Homo-oligomer: A and B are copies of this chain.
Amino acid sequence: MKKNIYLFGPGMGEGNAGMKELLGGKGANLAEMSNLGIPVPPGFTITTEVCTYYVQHRKYPSDLGNEVEQALKRVEKAMGAKFGDPESPLLLSVRSGARASMPGMMETILNVGITEETIPGLIKKSGNERFVYDAYRRLIMMYSDVVLEKAQGIDPEEHGIRKQFEREIEETKKRKGLKDDTELSTEDLRQLCQTFKAKLKEVLKVDFPGDPTEQLWESIRAVFKSWMGKRAISYRNIEDIPDDWGTAVNVQAMVFGNMGENSATGVAFTRDPATGDKIFYGEFLPNAQGEDVVAGIRTPQPLNEATKAVLANELSSMEETMPQIYEELNSLQKKLETHYRDMQDIEFTVQEGKLFILQTRTGKRGGAAAIKIAVDMCEEGLISQKEALLQVKPEQISDLLHPMVSPKAERTATKLADGLPAGPGGAVGQIVFTADDAETQSKEGKKVILVRAETSPEDVHGMHVAEGVLTSTGGITSHAALVARGWGKCCIVGCSALNIDVSTRTVKVGGKTLKEGDWITLNGTKGTVYAETLPLFPADPEKNLSYKKLMIWADEIRGLKVRANADTSEDAKLSRKFGAVGIGLCRTEHMFFGPERIKLVREMILADNKEMRQKALGKLLPYQKEDFIMIFRAMNGMPVTIRTLDPPLHEFLPHNKSAQAEMAKQMRISPEALREKVELLSEVNPMLGHRGCRLGITYPEITEMQVQAIMEAACELTKKGIKVLPEIMIPLVGTKEELHNQREIVVRIAEVTKKKYGVDVNYLIGTMIEIPRAAVVADEIAEFADFFSFGTNDLTQLTFGYSRDDVVKFLPDYLENKILANDPFQTIDRKGVGELMKIGIQRGRLKKPNLKIGICGEHGGDPKSIAFCHQIGIDYVSCSTYRIPIARLTAAQANINSQ
By beta carbon, the residue of chain B nearest A688 is: B803
Query: Which residue of the partner chain, among B688, B741, B773, B820, contacts A829 with CB atoms under 8 Å?
Result: B773
Verify A773–B794 contact, CB threshold 8 A: no
A602 at the interface (CB under 8 A from B): no
Verify B735–A780 contact, CB threshold 8 A: no
A800 at the interface (CB under 8 A from B): yes
Given known A-B contacts A773-B829, A776-B799, A819 and B685 have beta carbons under 8 A apart: no
A239 at the interface (CB under 8 A from B): no
A208 at the interface (CB under 8 A from B): no
Verify A819–B741 contact, CB threshold 8 A: yes
By beta carbon, the residue of chain B nearest A739 is: B819
Query: Using Cβ atoms and an 8 Å threshold, which residues of chain B touch A780?
Result: 831
By beta carbon, the residue of chain B nearest A836 is: B776
Task: List which A809-844 residues lie within 8 A (CB) of chain B.
Answer: 809-810, 813-814, 817-820, 829, 831-833, 835-836
Verify B685–A810 contact, CB threshold 8 A: no
Query: Using Cβ atoms and an 8 Å threshold, which residues of chain B touch A608?
Result: none
A480 at the interface (CB under 8 A from B): no
Stretch of A39-47, A427-435, A445-453, A689-697 that contacts chain B: A689-697
A776, A798, A802, A831: most-surrounded residue (chain B CB, <10 A): A776
Number of copies of this chain that the complex holds: 2
Verify B688–A818 contact, CB threshold 8 A: no
Q: What is the interface of chain A mostly: helix, strand, loop, or mixed?
A: helix
CA distance A734 to B832 in the complex (A): 9
Distance (Å) between the CB of A772 and the closest chain B CB?
Answer: 4
CA distance A818 to B820 in the complex (A): 40
Query: Which residue of the partner chain, among B686, B734, B836, contacts A800 with CB atoms under 8 Å?
Result: B734
A777 at the interface (CB under 8 A from B): yes
CA distance A738 to B814 in the complex (A): 9
Verify B685–A836 contact, CB threshold 8 A: no
Query: Using Cβ atoms and an 8 Å threshold, which residues of chain B touch A806?
Result: 683-686, 688-690
A747 at the interface (CB under 8 A from B): no
Query: Which residue of the partner chain, among B687, B698, B773, B832, contacts A832 with CB atoms under 8 Å?
Result: B773
CA distance A800 to B770 in the complex (A): 10
Verify A697–B737 contact, CB threshold 8 A: no
Verify B687–A810 contact, CB threshold 8 A: no
By beta carbon, the residue of chain B nearest A797 is: B688
Verify A777–B735 contact, CB threshold 8 A: no
Contact with B along A650-693 (1 / 0, CB 8 A): 00000000000000000000000000000000011111111000
CA distance A554 to B279 in the complex (A): 87
CA distance A128 to B808 in the complex (A): 87
Query: Which residue of the partner chain, among B685, B738, B799, B817, contacts A685 with CB atoms under 8 Å?
Result: B685
Verify A737–B689 contact, CB threshold 8 A: no
By beta carbon, the residue of chain B nearest A684 is: B805
Query: Using Cβ atoms and an 8 Å threshold, which residues of chain B touch A734?
Result: 799-801, 832
By beta carbon, the residue of chain B nearest A805 is: B684
CA distance A803 to B689 in the complex (A): 6
Given known A-B contacts A737-B818, A813-B698, A819-B697, A773 and B797 have beta carbons under 8 A apart: no
A855 at the interface (CB under 8 A from B): no
Q: List 22 A-B contacts (CB under 8 A).
A: A683-B805, A683-B809, A684-B686, A684-B805, A685-B806, A688-B806, A689-B806, A694-B810, A697-B817, A697-B819, A698-B809, A734-B799, A734-B801, A737-B818, A737-B819, A741-B817, A741-B819, A773-B799, A773-B831, A776-B831, A780-B831, A798-B801
9 nearest CB pairs, A to B: A688-B803, A773-B832, A685-B803, A684-B805, A772-B772, A689-B806, A690-B809, A737-B819, A683-B806
Q: A684-B805, A697-B810 are in contact. List 18 more A-B contacts (CB 8 A).
A: A683-B803, A684-B803, A685-B688, A685-B806, A687-B688, A688-B802, A690-B810, A694-B810, A698-B810, A698-B813, A737-B817, A770-B801, A771-B801, A773-B832, A773-B833, A776-B799, A776-B831, A798-B799
